[in-house]
Amino acid sequence: MRPLVATIDLAAIRHNYAVAKRCAPGRQAFAVVKANAYGHGLGEVVAALSEQADGFAVACLEEAVAVRALHAEARILLLEGCFEAAEYQLAAQLGLDLVLQGEQQVADFLAAKLSRPLNIWLKLDSGMHRLGFSELGLRTWHARLHEAAAVAELNLLSHFACADERGHEMTEQQLEAFLGVLDLDFTQRSLANSAAILTIPAAHMDWLRPGIMLYGATPFAELGAAELGLEPAMTLTAQLIACREVAVGESVGYGAGWLAQRPSRIGTVSCGYADGYPRHAPSGTPLLVRGQRVALAGRVSMDMLTVDLTDLPAARVGDEVQLWGAQLPVDEVARAAGTIGYELLSKVTQRVPRRYRNA
């Protein structure tokens, strides 16, 4: 069997959900489980949180169907709403909480003959300019939807563009835009992603939307997950499958891009970019062998990568290699590779078996 596995600590995810709730006592929280629960496995994560979570949030109807199959009662928020008119019937059958973020969506929603009224989350474009209505549009549609028989709760939602950069002026402006429509009658309000849950109490409102923090990674560049009290949920573990000596001036890997500056020992690891390890990670990106840090050496291949073991003479074929996880924060690997933990976690491919720990 290929020695590569993503071990998922479900107890850590429960712990991290509890951290989110503790940040905002008395509020409720949709556990964001889009994109296969950020790569951790939708079914297992929903099952692990099924007693604890107030609801779940997903990116599309296909994901909502999967959550509903696991949980008959949970509130399930469709973050981008429906993508076509034909989806509203199924959304109603599933009893989803539905975002309405644009004119076409409202028109299709109102034209659909639904089997039951739905909880609607009108989305305000508070400044990110990706989805949602301007203040004027929101006021217009609020008036229209407030009376509509197809609407159960009429709720308000928006999303921050820069909450991960503490003290960013845009966050204050977005919060003000949100507060500026609260004279309207909404049943529930939701604004906070992980970054805002952790650092902006004024944005907590009624429903939180924690995503990345559930998985034990940080939304912030300058504040680590451990400092935030979060526990890493995914540990990606491979093995050393080969070792060799490389003389000064010899190269390693595709493009012959890494050159030995000293007599070197090179280890080959059973993980590559087809597993989701970032191909653009430069030489020097950290990995753990026998619990010790070693540096990526040369280009990442599809199924393998190479590390410099020169300073770890005890390393042997068969040793465990941690790509990221419990002892090496995914955020640190992400930073070295010029990306964010979100991308590394959600891009671990199907080829990598997930193994679950529940206590």
Ligand X SMILES: *Cc1c(COP(=O)(O)O)cnc(C)c1O
What residues make contact with ligand X under the rule CB under 6 A?
32, 34, 79, 159, 193-195, 209-213, 219
Torsion of CA 280, 284, 285, 287, to 10 degrees: 130
Find the catalytic residue in 34, 123, 273, 277.
Answer: 34
Is 170 among the annotated ligand-binding positions? no
Closest approach of ligand X to the CB of residue 159, in Å: 4
Give the containing element (helix H, strand E) for 186.
none
Residue 124: DSSP 8-state: B
Tell me whether residue 293 is annotated as binding. no
How far does CA 150 lie from the centroid of its chain? 32
Whether 277 is catalytic = no
Are 1 and 349 in contact by the 8 Å Cβ rule? The answer is no
**254 given a catalytic annotation:** yes
- CA-to-CA dists, residue 254 to 250, 259, 277, angstroms: 13, 12, 16
Question: How near is the Cβ of 294 to ligand X at its closest, in Å?
Answer: 30
CA dist., res. 10 & res. 138, Å (int): 39
Q: Taking the complex as a whole, how short is the minimal distance between the CB of residue 32 and ligand X, in angstroms?
A: 4
Euclidean distance between CA atoms 345 and 325, whole angstroms: 10
Assess contact for 10 and 357: CB atoms under 8 A. yes
Smallest distance from ligand X to CB 210, Å: 5
Paired tokens of 329: 């924060």
Given the complex with ligand X, which of 106 and 213 has the nearer CB atom?
213
Q: DSSP per residue over 78-120, as a string?
A: ETT--SSTTHHHHHHHHT-EEEE-SHHHHHHHHHS--SS-EEE
Q: How far is the CB of 82 from ligand X (least distance, A)?
A: 15
Question: Which of 210/286 has CB closer to ligand X?
Answer: 210
Contact call for residues 336 and 312 (beta carbons, < 8 A): no
Token pair recorded at residue 197: 């849950």
For ligand X, which is the closer residue by CB, 226 or 242? 226
Give me the catalytic one of 21, 88, 123, 254.
254
The CA dihedral of 260, 266, 269, 274, to the nearest 10 degrees, is 20
- Closer residue to ligand X (CB): 233 or 241: 233
106, containing H or E segment:
helix 103-111
Q: How is residue 140 written in tokens?
A: 């217009």
* Smallest distance from ligand X to CB 61, Å: 15
CA distance 239 to 304: 10
Report helix angle 42-49 to 10-23, nearest 10.
Answer: 60
Closer of 214 and 307 to ligand X (Cβ): 214
Q: How far apart are CA 25 and CA 44, in angstroms?
A: 26
Give me the least distance between CB of 123 and ligand X, in Å please.
Answer: 8
**Cα–Cα dist 304/270, whole Å:** 5
Measured N-to-C along each axis, helices 103-111 and 135-146 cross at an angle, to the nearest 10 degrees, of 10
- Residues forming the active site: 34, 254
Q: Residues comprising the binding site?
A: 130, 302
From the annotation, which residues make up the binding site for substrate? 130, 302
